[in-house]
Amino acid sequence: MSSPLVTINLVVLNGEKYIQYCLDAVKNQTYSNLEINIFDNGSTDKTKEIIREWQMANGKWQMTNFIENKINYGMWGGQEKALDYSYGKYIIALSVDVLFAPDTVEKSVVVMEKDERIGALQAKIYQYDINKLQTQTFRPELQEKIIDTVGFGIFRSRKIINLGHGELDNGQYDKEMEVFGVEGAAPIFRREALEDSVITGEIVDHDMFWYGDDIDLVWRMRLFGWKQIYSPPVIMYHDRSTTKGVSKSWLDYFKRTGERKKIPALKKRLDWRNKRLARLKNDYWINVLQNLPRILRREIQELGYAVLFEPSVLLEIPKLISLTPKMFKKRKEIMLKAEVGPEQMAKWFI
């Protein structure tokens, strides 16, 4: 098997409680042809200090490029900036609260090398709790096998979910398959696919800044004809700071109101706005019309919920409206480049 260079780009902001574990998991990889870029988005806690100490302690293992910034580019804006320092055939866009199994990179390369049209790879990602880890030791055998995600799924209502989220792993996701899109915690990209996804000079939409921009990217990548594969032997662990399960009904959604209070208001606002911007850019109008009753029903439900429980979300409506003309300009470029038509895209709507 060939051993192409793999770049791990870790973007972090105030990740002091995770950074040591995350970097140690990278160091423990069985795959050796790696380069590591650590892109700090202006951390004000002890993150940068811990990174420097880790570099000094592990300098003989692998050179790491530590890029310090005074401003916050966001997760995906930071990933785009980190790409300027990256030379790998494959790019792993790593979040600080994700841990790799020792053979994660090795097994991901095996899958990616099988088909040059695989643009992105989704790992089987389990949940973990940082508070349950022993000091400086990651023990996956101590963790209950609760799935965090096996990739994005999308409904005809345009609800987007993490497939498998909150489910006990009983082997129900043990087959390799295509997914609508890879989830943004730690996707593995073919560099060529990222570069092919550029529109208006951007890989990620700078108008989105944060949250939901990963959905926009993978939707566009699918329109451009790149496969996105879920591979169960590729294992990761994620300490998701938001919800731990999927709401299966609106009653269930209301029951999770207390859990949703833990989510920062800014995240809820940007997530609501940016998912709609992604639809304006990437969804075929004929598919929207075919699913319009379901879409309108969900929009009414979400607006009603926001009025009752999360009114700050409504502050994004003027911004959504003001950004709409720019989204239509970007949409025009996307549609001119799209290789996958409405009928093929409609097959992904559950």
Q: Are residues 34 and 75 in the same domain?
A: yes
Q: Are residues 119 and 259 in the same domain?
A: no
Q: Are residues 92 and 140 in the same domain?
A: yes
Domain count, the chain: 2
Kindly write down the DSSP assignment for every residue of 64-75, as one continuous string: EEEEE-SS---H
3-class SS of residue 99: strand
What's the rounded Cα separation, in Å, for the pair 194 and 202? Answer: 10
Contact 180, 221 (CB under 8 A): no
Q: Are residues 233 and 283 in the same domain?
A: no
CATH number of the domain where residue 74 is located: 3.90.550.10
What's the rounded Cα separation, in Å, for the pair 187 and 149? Answer: 11
Q: Are residues 337 and 280 in the same domain?
A: yes
70 belongs to a structural domain: yes
Q: Are residues 91 and 142 in the same domain?
A: yes
Quote the tokens at residue 138. Answer: 């990651």
- The tens-digit pLDDT sequence of the chain (350 residues) is 679 999 999 999 999 999 999 999 999 999 999 999 999 999 999 999 999 999 988 876 777 899 999 889 988 999 999 999 999 999 999 999 999 999 999 999 999 999 999 999 999 999 998 887 755 555 666 667 999 999 999 999 999 999 999 999 999 999 999 999 999 999 999 999 999 999 999 999 999 987 889 999 999 999 999 999 999 999 999 998 665 555 555 555 555 566 677 778 888 999 999 999 999 999 999 999 999 999 999 999 999 999 999 999 999 999 999 999 999 999 999 999 999 999 999 999 99
DSSP secondary-structure letter at 283? -
Cα distances from 230 to residues 7, 118, 153, 174, 250, in angstroms, run 20, 10, 12, 10, 28
Q: Are residues 228 and 142 in the same domain?
A: yes
Amino acid in the structure at residue 164: G
Question: Per-residue pLDDT tens for 290-334?
Answer: 999 999 999 999 999 999 999 999 999 999 999 999 999 999 999
> In 3D, which of 76, 70, 11 has the Cα closest to residue 38?
11
- pLDDT for the residue numbered 246: 55
Q: Are residues 156 and 53 in the same domain?
A: yes
Q: Is the whole-model pTM more than 0.85? A: yes
The b/e string for 283-292 (b: 16+ C-beta within 10 A; e otherwise) is bbeebeeebe
3-class SS of residue 162: strand
3-class SS of residue 304: helix
Q: Beta strand 118-127 with 227-238: parallel, antiparallel or unpaired?
A: parallel
Instruction: State the DSSP H helix or E strand holding residue 47, giving kind and residue range, or none if neither.
Output: helix 47-58
Contact 206, 96 (CB under 8 A): no
Question: Within 13 Å, how many C-alpha atoms sit on residue 148's CB side?
Answer: 25
- pLDDT for the residue numbered 263: 79
77 belongs to a structural domain: yes
Range(s) of the domain holding residue 263: 250-346
Q: Are residues 117 and 162 in the same domain?
A: yes
118 belongs to a structural domain: yes
153 bridge partner residues: 161
3-class SS of residue 76: helix
